[in-house]
Amino acid sequence: MVEIFERLPSKSIIRFRSLSKYWHSRLATPEFIRNHRLRCSKNPPKLLIRYVVFRGDRGCKDIYALQPGDQLPLHIPGYRYLSIPKVEFPCSLMTMLSRNHVLVVGSFNGILCLRDHDNHNFSLWNLSIRRRVRVPRPPFISIVAAGFGFDPIADDYKIVAIDFDEHKTFVYSLKKESWSEVPSPSSRLYGSLLSEKKPYFFNGILHWVVVPEDPHPSRFILTFNVSSHVFGRILFPEHWIVEQLTTINGCLALISSEDVDSWKIRVMGEYGKTESWSLLFELKNDPFCRSAAFQPITNGDLLAYYKQDTNGDLLVHYGRSKVYKPQTRLLTKLFEYRPNCYKLEMDTYVESLELVDKQSATTCGKTVWACYDCAK
């Protein structure tokens, strides 16, 4: 019976915990959660689409949707993207001009690490089972950068918070439920980290793109091994304006914008070797495009979301999504987003039971449908 339960979706297991006291505790043991996680990791990951919806005087809402990567909706006249239920996260975002908004620090094994931009509060949220754990505030206030990853050696989830001004780094352990100080980078980084762009977690290592100030204008990748707590660097051979880090075909990849007409996608053939960067392909940019988000999906395709201004007004813009096929170099138009959607992020997501055994976890997130939908 346990092996049958391990093969069920997370939501079904949550319901079956009400069968008896025995199953309530048995289905929340670390062993069962780990075995269920290993089985879920073999399933095709879903595409997590997060967008913030502006609702006029009622403020903004943070909406999350899980979409199968091989079933993305095509652009069909009259088609409405309403078939997938969404989840609303109750955040403190009130107006579009407010800086008090929630950042997605990272996602792994079904857990989203969320951070409040202004007061630096962290929380861990399992979207699939609606469970959230509030993390104690770190020992310092001025956080320049933060990251979230999984330590496979300790079987632990960790948050790293870095303060370049004070030259201090702290790591939060979910198992210990506490912060501890670890060695900071070997030299002070006199510059600004792109903290608005979340770091990329790959092969047990967090990656941030750093833009130092003069006299060292070259950008590079700051790395942090979640298991050993050791920092490192990956240099760029040229002055690339890196917009995003990702993986393509199992290799670390980056998207850069050296000119306004195109996006360049490069991959690192041999991890850690600066000379192994190579140009994979170049994607022409849409006119008037302010920014873009890219996410590799099934079959090696690349999902691109373009955000565009209307009449140059930062508060009124719309977005378009397309799939780029590197083999044929063709673009397939997908769904569009209405003007009330002003922020969109994408990530891969695998459903799990993580956090179900945490006594401090609370229920968070309600299902919504068309009332907050901004896609068409």
pLDDT by residue (tens digit) across 164-174? Answer: 777 889 999 99
**50 and 35 part of one domain:** no
Taking residues 235-248, report their average pLDDT.
85
CA distance 270 to 260: 29
**151 and 266 part of one domain:** yes
**194 and 142 part of one domain:** yes
The alpha carbon of 330 is separated from its chain's Cα centroid by a whole number of angstroms, namely 26
**28 and 142 part of one domain:** no
Amino acid at 70: D
**39 and 51 part of one domain:** no
Amino acid at 243: E
321-329: Cβ within 8 A, 24+ apart: 323/72, 323/297, 324/283, 325/301, 326/280, 326/281, 326/300, 326/301, 326/302, 327/300, 329/281
Count of structural domains, the chain: 2
**25 and 151 part of one domain:** no
Amino acid 314: pLDDT? 40
Pair type for strands 277-284 and 289-296? unpaired
**240 and 288 part of one domain:** yes
**107 and 37 part of one domain:** no
165-179, 222-236, 286-300: lowest mean pLDDT where?
286-300
Domain that holds residue 60: 44-372
* 153, pLDDT greater than 90: yes
Q: Decide: 94 and 87 in contact? Cβ < 8 Å.
A: no
**248 and 347 part of one domain:** yes
Taking residues 216-241, report their average pLDDT.
86
Model confidence band, residue 78 (pLDDT cutoffs 50, 70, 90): very low
**182 and 206 part of one domain:** yes
* 212, pLDDT greater than 80: no
* 147, pLDDT greater than 50: yes
Average pLDDT value for the chain: 78
Q: Which residue has the tokens 């967008």?
A: 51
The alpha carbon of 63 is separated from its chain's Cα centroid by a whole number of angstroms, namely 14
Q: Decide: 53 and 65 in contact? Cβ < 8 Å.
A: no
54-68, 312-326, 354-368: lowest mean pLDDT where?
312-326
96-100, 115-119, 305-309: lowest mean pLDDT where?
96-100
* 130, pLDDT greater than 80: yes
Give the pair of three-digit tokens for residue 187: 């030299």
55-69, 183-197, 203-217, 347-361: lowest mean pLDDT where?
183-197
Q: What angle do CA 268, 273, 278 make, to 5 degrees?
A: 35
**258 and 306 part of one domain:** yes
Model confidence band, residue 162 (pLDDT cutoffs 50, 70, 90): confident
Amino acid at 283: L
**162 and 24 part of one domain:** no
Q: Decide: 278 and 267 in contact? Cβ < 8 Å.
A: yes
Amino acid at 320: R
CA distance 15 to 13: 5
Q: Looking only at Cα atoms, what is the longest distance across the chain?
A: 66
Domain CATH number, residue 260 = 2.120.10.80
3-class DSSP state for residue 263?
strand
